[in-house]
Amino acid sequence: MTLKQVFALVILASVFAIFSVLPALSDSPIAHAQDSGGEKKKEGEKKPGEEGSGEEGEEGSGESAESEALSDLIRENLGDLTAGTATLDGTLLTVTYSPEAVREEAEWIGKEGSEHIRWSRSYYFSGENKGHFLFKPRYKGKVKIETTIHYQWINRGGHFMILSHVSKDGFYGSNFGVHTVSQIGKKKLKMRPSKFKEHKRDPSYWLDRTTSQKHILVVDSLKKELKTSFSGLVNELDLGKKPLEGGRVGLRWDDVTFRVHSITVTGELDREWAAKVIGGKPRSEEE
């Protein structure tokens, strides 16, 4: 056999070996990855549109859709929940009361009523002698009440309370913006005096009656705390292991003459109560 014949046989053997390997290469994972653009799907990963992918194509949960529908219904009917100027941000309801709104919405508690109120266009109203009223909306969780009060006359032993979480189970509040108060169940009202020395005496001695005072009361049943602020001084109260979950807000006074210049309430709306008032119930209640 000549050298040329040997060389030709080597070339033919090489070509045969290459073609015999090609089918195996076409079945390899590398070949499949190249055919799909080089992407290899990770284990457990879902493509957009597949169930559970979290992207377009997945249906939203029934609870979130129901909650959003209820929020829209509440926004459309805020006038049924309060006479004040109200906004709803998620579950957070903010109500600012005008004099007319206070007059329309206030529910008087006990024998004393609106005969102890004098209405004015230059300020909200002036209260005298004795009174107690509640606003309509019901809140739960955290509630913030901001008021601007101008005290005019205070008899020794008198009180002016801002109340929150008022229900058949009791209430929390502040007295003259510096003392914390609470009444739970059938127990007697408890008042915890301010920790600041200047407020230890009767308010008739230290309360400035020549100018308005801003009071801020924050009751947070989730954090189990109450804070009342007066002139930047804050007093606190631990609400204990089982605080009141929520309720209404209002004012209560005795042996005091004052003028109210502003009232704003911000808190988590009791959505179950709101749904019943406006006639729309969550699906879970209907079933």
Closest CA to 172 of 139, 150, 203: 139
Say yes or no: domain 84-286 is CATH 2.60.120.560.
Answer: yes
- pLDDT score for 224: 96
- pLDDT score for 186: 87
Confidence of residue 122 (pLDDT cuts 50, 70, 90): low
How many Å apart are CA 228 and CA 164, to the nearest integer? Answer: 12
Q: Strand (E) positions, the chain? A: 85-89, 92-97, 107-108, 117-119, 125-127, 130-134, 139-167, 170-175, 179-184, 190-192, 213-220, 225-230, 233-238, 246-269
Between 113 and 218, name the one with better pLDDT: 218
Confidence of residue 65 (pLDDT cuts 50, 70, 90): confident
How many Å apart are CA 266 and CA 71, to the nearest integer? Answer: 16
Give the DSSP per-residue string, 187-237. Answer: SPPEEE--SSGGGSS-HHHH---SS-EEEEEEEETTTTEEEEEETTEEEEE
- pLDDT score for 97: 94
- pLDDT score for 123: 58
Share of the chain above pLDDT 70, in %: 70
Closest CA to 89 of 273, 269, 248: 269
Residue-wise pLDDT for 132-148, tens only, equals: 999 999 999 999 999 99
pLDDT of 6 strictly over 50: no
How many Å apart are CA 175 and CA 259, to the nearest integer? Answer: 16
